[in-house]
Structure 1
């Protein structure tokens, strides 16, 4: 069946409107081939003949809608991705947060990895916190994503040999066990992270977060969806907390209350009040 018959311009508009309304992800014409490819996979998997019939299914079946949205997301990540952010976290952000919280007797630092993909980012954060936090300090990490498949990988904590590139040797020896075909994260590190499904188009229900990582996710949203997501981060964050976004992303010109912070390691944003 020819592609133009399989997926018309009207079909494309129908699907990208659904995707935007449900997730905030903005598909442009340059991404059309990706959407077509993912749709063919879902149709084969469900034994459905046409994109219109499949649209009827996901309009009514919330679980299949989740599976569809899962299939169209890009899950590109790695351990210690953009090292400068973790340097800023260690040398600037965490000391600032500790200084703020210690006067209240609260020794728990709450971090949200939003759009965590397969878990490399939250595990990197957990290992770093294990290295730098002295007693009685502890960390609680929430790791969320719209991809259920990615979350299952993160929860399992197994990574093939090809996926552990970037992990310092001392971290690899201390926090992973070598198993057939790859490495498994130690249970004590896994216990610091709660993996949870979340669509950034909705309120997470989280509050009082000291640090939020949402890197290389906003680039898939248009300006309106970006602003809405960032403002939901604001609601989830504690006073004088910090936000990391991707190095190619910016809040410049966006209607938010965050203030830009430039450190010697990396740039980030802060909620001062």
Structure 2
């Protein structure tokens, strides 16, 4: 199969993607970018790479659609159960202890890079199940994929997408409908889906927990540090950060402290 991007084309697309969202394309994943651009040109009936490149520079919505097309959205409910075990057994009890000191009764969580919504809905179901009376919660779910956000907002998942959901959660928070399952309104009302580029400040404050799992692997260290600083600024004085089990902040100049629990490793902000 002939590449549609020559070396110069690849370089300029790689640079504009990095500038826009911090995602790094190297020689090893060049074929992914090439195939996505080829598909877009065919769908839009655009004759040349130059024409499409000029289009994304002049049209912000088209830029968003291009970024959407190059992202990979792999997720599932209760993905990496040890993280959720640590969330239930360590993080939330410690967050509640801090809340008692301040009188604040709202737990605030950000699912950054939420894809099609399985992660934020998992978080919301857990909080609905374990929080004591008198506490409320909100989950902000963000991504740069508009298509994924629309799936999350619908709250509908095909039968094969609910594998791994415990039976008690399935019966309590889902309704069986034709072709799949619908998340209950009592869960959906706690989750807000929002388009957000992690290279930019979110505007959020006093977050108790941030989940950003298997997202920063697409960034180089400079872009990772931008994301981590943005998280730090959005998080409460005593708060917690989950990243992917194959990701690490080791050797990076961040303010986050490594935390090893009986269930999983994560990071904390104490300042």
TM class, shorter-chain normalised? over 0.9
How far apart in 1 are the matches of 2:2 and 2:199?
A: 31
How far apart in 1 are the matches of 2:103 and 2:256?
A: 26
Q: Which residue of 1 aligns with 2:189?
A: 191
How far apart in 2 are the matches of 1:206 and 1:28?
A: 32
How far apart in 2 are the matches of 1:7 and 1:20?
A: 17
Q: Which residue of 1 aligns with 2:115?
A: 117
Which residue of 30, 33, 41 maps to 1:32?
A: 30
In structure 1, the residue corresponding to 2:181 is in which secondary structure?
strand
Q: Which residue of 2 aligns with 1:230?
A: 228
Q: Which residue of 1 aligns with 2:92?
A: 94
How far apart in 1 are the matches of 2:136 and 2:225?
A: 32
How far apart in 2 are the matches of 1:264 and 1:157?
A: 32
Q: Structure 1 residue runs of 4+, over 3 Å off?
A: none
In structure 1, the residue corresponding to 2:110 is in which secondary structure?
strand
In structure 2, the residue corresponding to 1:29 is in which secondary structure?
coil
Structure 1 residues 71-92: Cα deviation after superposition (integer angstroms, max 9, x where no partner): 0000000000000000000000
TM-superposed CA distance for 1:3, in Å, is: 2.1
Pair 1:22 & 2:47 matched: no
- The aligned runs of 1:21-170 (5 Å cut-off) are 21-170=19-168
Q: Provide TM-score, normalisation by structure 2.
A: 0.99
How far apart in 1 are the matches of 2:14 and 2:101?
A: 49
In structure 1, the residue corresponding to 2:211 is in which secondary structure?
strand
In structure 2, the residue corresponding to 1:91 is in which secondary structure?
helix
TM-superposed CA distance for 1:39, in Å, is: 0.6
How far apart in 2 are the matches of 1:248 and 1:231?
A: 20
Pair 1:243 & 2:236 matched: no
TM-superposed CA distance for 1:7, in Å, is: 1.4
How far apart in 2 are the matches of 1:45 and 1:123?
A: 33
How far apart in 2 are the matches of 1:68 and 1:44?
A: 13
Which residue of 257, 260, 263 maps to 2:261?
A: 263
TM-superposed CA distance for 1:45, in Å, is: 2.3
How far apart in 2 are the matches of 1:113 and 1:120?
A: 10
Q: Provide TM-score, normalisation by structure 1.
A: 0.98
Q: Which residue of 1 aligns with 2:2?
A: 3
How far apart in 1 are the matches of 2:254 and 2:230?
A: 10
How far apart in 2 are the matches of 1:254 and 1:104?
A: 32
Q: Which residue of 1 aligns with 2:250?
A: 252
How far apart in 2 are the matches of 1:136 and 1:43?
A: 54
- CA RMSD between the two structures: 0.8
How far apart in 1 are the matches of 2:162 and 2:214?
A: 20
How far apart in 2 are the matches of 1:199 and 1:123?
A: 20
